[in-house]
Structures are given as structure tokens and as C-alpha cells.
Amino acid sequence: MLEKIRQLEKIATRLELDHAERADLLNRAGAYTESFLSGINGMKAFVPDTGRSPRLERAFDEQATNFGTLLDTLATEVDREGINAASGGHMAYIPGGGLYPSAVGDFLADVSNRYAGVSFGSPGAVKLEKQLVRWMCDLVGYPQLAGGDLTSGGSIANLTAIVTAREIMGIRARDVEQSCVYLTEQVHHCVGKSLRAAGLGDCIRRVVPMDNRYRMDVSALEELIKKDVTRGLKPWLITASAGTTDTGAVDPLNQISELAQEHGLWLHVDAAYGGFFLLCEETRAMFQGLEKAHSIVMDPHKGLFLPYGSGAVLVQDVHWLAQSQSYEADYMQDANAGQAEYSPADLSLELSRPFRGLRMWIPLKLHGLAPFRAALTEKIWLARFFHRELESTPDWETGPDPDLSVVTFRYLPKNGNADDFNQRLINAVREDGKVVISSTQLDGKFVMRLAVLHYRTHLKQVEYLLSFLYRKVRELSS
């Protein structure tokens, strides 16, 4: 038996690298990322799929592969086709970022592999994450009693908030069909997914009309709530948006929060895209009333330019989150004994989780807040600049003045179908690939949308898009 164990140990210890092997991996990975980043400005923002990925299709086997081969595979079969999320030319959907110090934060967190779920496991990691949650709570204007959790993204953060709302509002299975939820058609689709996942898919969904800037119409909301009360139904949840994905609109949060208070509804605000614009003088006033929301979602992997993998859910009273996530498990008795404060696992759908605070804490501390504020303010002005340029150019139709950093627009051709023309225009942008934008349907029309949020997006990329569009319109029209 001992012989067998020793034999297995010999093979198993290949998993432990020695100093030289570690240095080699790190050097080669560093050389790879340096080569990637030094070429980033010349790289395309979009490359169509060739469908060729022979190495990725190869099955796993018992044999080891050389790290250089793996990096080659990454270079040729992963880091080439599709949207280049690291490019400043990425102005489609809601761009993420990918701050380098965050990558280093992930590296450090992964090597020590600190468990940030319970204080007993790593009091330091838990404290660090609490600081980040506290900072975001202060940013939105929440009281000391507030709390929250760092999640993998906005969708999971929204789900956590909806589950919390359900528990605290006491919506039981038998109540679902009489319970009313209020949202606009511009709410992010993950809210619908969250409702379904939370067993609330059969709630009555009232789609609240919007004003001409795609913001929730408060008087229409009030009317709907009152009508539902008269009918003997149970209005319980309003889901508003602080920065919709499609048009970047911020709902009138202050008025909505007053209505929620008056009628005793839970107000949830999805600020996944827009939340960090609270850092900017230009847009702060629009968020007035956000502090009265019962729950809020923010996405540091959007507005703080972190690599994908960071969302946050915040609640006005941390006990709500704890109550909705409370559990008992005998095997957790050592970890939970004598805990004075909540640990992340008490406030989360997750138990084992990465120490995801470090990827956010390092860049915020390393840079300080000033460049984040400046970068976000720059994005606001880039969107305003783009909007103003198209607005003053004949035959272009622009959507509303951007609340934040999303602009919708389309070209109006002299003859022919406008939807088709704009589809051809966006195809041309994609074919060129230097920058990438996306499209959507607004009021039944095909429109293009520019979303400026990447920290590498500057005047250069926006001006390039403008000149490209003007040139293509001339080509397509002739």
C-alpha cells in the first residue's frame, strides 16, 4: 500500500512547480501579454469567425503539453476572432474594460487562494471586500446600516436583489399570481431571467410607458399601481434602471422612490451600467433618489473598467440580505462560531468563491479615484460630442441627448428602406473592424448605438467612427 502511495505521489507532485518552472511560466505569460498590449492600438476591435480552431478541438489526454504551444493556441485560436474586448475601438453593447492591475490582483488572489467567504477563513480578505462594499454604499448615499456583496456580474447581482426583495416583502408561492411587478420595456433582460429563477415568473408584469427619452413615466406608473390596488392585486416591486443598456437612460429615481414609499413597494434599481457615473459632476444629479432604493446593482466590470467577473449588489439594510440568504449547516459550525459581523457567504448565493475583492481594490488604491473620475467624465463628453456632430449633419437622425454615454442614431437615406441602409452601414463598420458598434430596435426602427465606456476609448476612436460613417454613406449612396 505504501509503495502505491509513493508511486502516486511521484506523479501527483508534477502539479507543484519549482521556482525555475514558475519563473519560466510567468516570464512567458508576461512576454505574451506584453506583445498583446504593445499591439493593442493597431489591433482590430472585431474579427469575423473563421470557424477554424483545430487545436481547441483536440481532446485532453494523459500527456503534458508545452506551455509555448498553449500560448500559441491562445494567440491563434482565442485572442483573434470576435470582439476584442481589450480594444478602445470596442463601443458596442456595454464595453467592459480590463485594467492591468486587476489582472495582477487576480493573479495574487489566485496564488494565495485566500477564501473570502467567511471571516474565519480570511479575516483580511473579508475586511478588504467589506471596504469595497462600504465605498460603493457611500457612493450611492446609503446609510451605515447598508451592506452588499461582490458578485461575478450584474445578472447574479440582480438575481440576489430580486430574491432579497421577495423574502423581505414576504411574497410566497401562493401570492405570486396576484403580485405585480413594474418595469419598462427597456429594463435589462436579466431582470426577467431573475424573476423566473426566483420563482416569480408568474407575477403580473406591468410594462410602464416611457417618456420620449425612454425613461419610466412616473404618472403612468402611479396610475398602474393605483389601478392594481383597486383590483385587489398586490403591487410589490418596481424595477427601475439607472442607465439602460439600450439607450443609457436614467429613470426619474427620485419620483419613483417617492411612489414606492407611498405605496409600500420595494424599489430595485439596476445601475449595472450607469452606477459609477455617480463619480462625475456632470451626471450626479440624475441619480438623486437612488439612495432611497431598497436594493441597487452596480457592475465594476463596466464602469470601473475591471475585467469581466465583477458585479455588486447593495441593500439599504444589510440584514435584509442576511435574512434572505440565511442558512444552517453543521459543517460550518467552526467558521460561524462567535461571528460578530456578517461574512460574504452570509450575504451571498455563493459559498466557495474567488477572492474577487483584490481585482477591484488594487486598481482603486494604486491609481486613486482621480483617473477613474476623469475617464468616466471623458466618456460622457465623447458621447455628447458624437451626438452633437451627427445632430448637426444633414440626413442623420439622433436619439435623445445622452443621459450618460450611450448614443442612438441612424442615417436617413434619400430613397430606399432606412432599416436596410443602416444594416448595411453597420455591416460595413464590422467588416472594417477597426471599431465595433451594435444596433437595436427602437420604436420599431433599426438604429445603431454607440456605447462609450472602455477606458481605452478616446477622441481618436470616436472621430474615426464618424469619418468612417460619413465615407461609407457616400459610397453606399452612389
Ligand X SMILES: *Cc1c(COP(=O)(O)O)cnc(C)c1O
| Closer of 160 and 257 to ligand X (Cβ) | 160
Q: Which of 87, 119, 155, 186 binds ligand X (CB under 6 A)?
A: 155
Contacts with ligand X: how many residues (CB under 6 A)? 14
- Kindly state whether residue 379 participates in binding ligand X, applying the rule CB under 6 A: no
- Kindly state whether residue 270 participates in binding ligand X, applying the rule CB under 6 A: yes
CB under 6 A: which stretch of 128-136, 151-159, 169-177, 211-219 binds ligand X? Answer: 151-159
- Kindly state whether residue 153 participates in binding ligand X, applying the rule CB under 6 A: yes
Q: How far is the CB of 94 from ligand X (least distance, A)?
A: 5
Q: How far is the CB of 296 from ligand X (least distance, A)?
A: 11
- Kindly state whether residue 273 participates in binding ligand X, applying the rule CB under 6 A: yes
Distance CA 367, CA 360 (A): 11
| Closer of 245 and 398 to ligand X (Cβ) | 245
| Closer of 119 and 151 to ligand X (Cβ) | 151
Q: How far is the CB of 299 from ligand X (least distance, A)?
A: 5
Q: Which of 311, 344, 363, 399 binds ligand X (CB under 6 A)?
A: 311
| Closer of 266 and 273 to ligand X (Cβ) | 273
| Closer of 273 and 455 to ligand X (Cβ) | 273
Q: What is the dihedral of CA 442, 445, 446, 448, to 10 degrees?
A: -50
- Kindly state whether residue 245 participates in binding ligand X, applying the rule CB under 6 A: yes
CB atoms within 10 A of CB 50: 9
3-state secondary structure the chain: CHHHHHHHHHHHHHHCCCHHHHHHHHHHHHHHHHHHHHCHHHCCCEECCCCCCCCCCCCCCCCCCCHHHHHHHHHHHHCCCEECCCCCCECCCCCCCCCHHHHHHHHHHHHHCCCCCCCCCCHHHHHHHHHHHHHHHHHHCCCCCCEEEEECCHHHHHHHHHHHHHHHCCCCHHHHHHEEEEECCCCCHHHHHHHHHCCCCCCEEEECCECCCCCECHHHHHHHHHHHHHCCCEEEEEEEEECCCCCCCECCHHHHHHHHHHHCCEEEEEECCCHHHHHCHHHHHHHCCHHHCCEEEECHHHHCCCCCCCEEEEECCHHHHHHHHCCCCHHHHHHHCCCCCCCHHHHCCCCCCCCCCHHHHHHHHHHCCHHHHHHHHHHHHHHHHHHHHHHCCCCEEECCCCCCCEEEEEECCCCCCHHHHHHHHHHHHHHHCCCECEEEEECCEEEEEEECCCCCCCHHHHHHHHHHHHHHHHHHHC
| Closer of 158 and 439 to ligand X (Cβ) | 158
Distance CA 287, CA 179 (A): 28
- Kindly state whether residue 272 participates in binding ligand X, applying the rule CB under 6 A: yes
Distance CA 406, CA 243 (A): 9
Type of residue numbered 429: V
> Which residue's beta carbon is nearest to the bound ligand X?
154
| Closer of 176 and 313 to ligand X (Cβ) | 313
Binding track over 202-241 against ligand X, x by CB under 6 A:
---------------------------------------x
| Closer of 159 and 203 to ligand X (Cβ) | 159
- Kindly state whether residue 94 participates in binding ligand X, applying the rule CB under 6 A: yes
- Kindly state whether residue 101 participates in binding ligand X, applying the rule CB under 6 A: no
Q: How far is the CB of 348 from ligand X (least distance, A)?
A: 15
- Kindly state whether residue 299 participates in binding ligand X, applying the rule CB under 6 A: yes
| Closer of 119 and 245 to ligand X (Cβ) | 245
Question: In terms of Cα–Cα distance, which of 67, 269, 288, 120 is closest to 182?
Answer: 269
Q: How far is the CB of 271 from ligand X (least distance, A)?
A: 7
Q: Which of 90, 130, 166, 188 binds ligand X (CB under 6 A)?
A: 188
Q: How far is the CB of 64 from ligand X (least distance, A)?
A: 36
| Closer of 137 and 249 to ligand X (Cβ) | 249
- Kindly state whether residue 300 participates in binding ligand X, applying the rule CB under 6 A: no
- Kindly state whether residue 276 participates in binding ligand X, applying the rule CB under 6 A: no
- Kindly state whether residue 154 participates in binding ligand X, applying the rule CB under 6 A: yes
| Closer of 85 and 476 to ligand X (Cβ) | 85
Q: How far is the CB of 447 from ligand X (least distance, A)?
A: 17
Interface residues with ligand X (CB under 6 A) are: 94, 153-155, 158, 188, 190, 241, 245, 270, 272-273, 299, 311
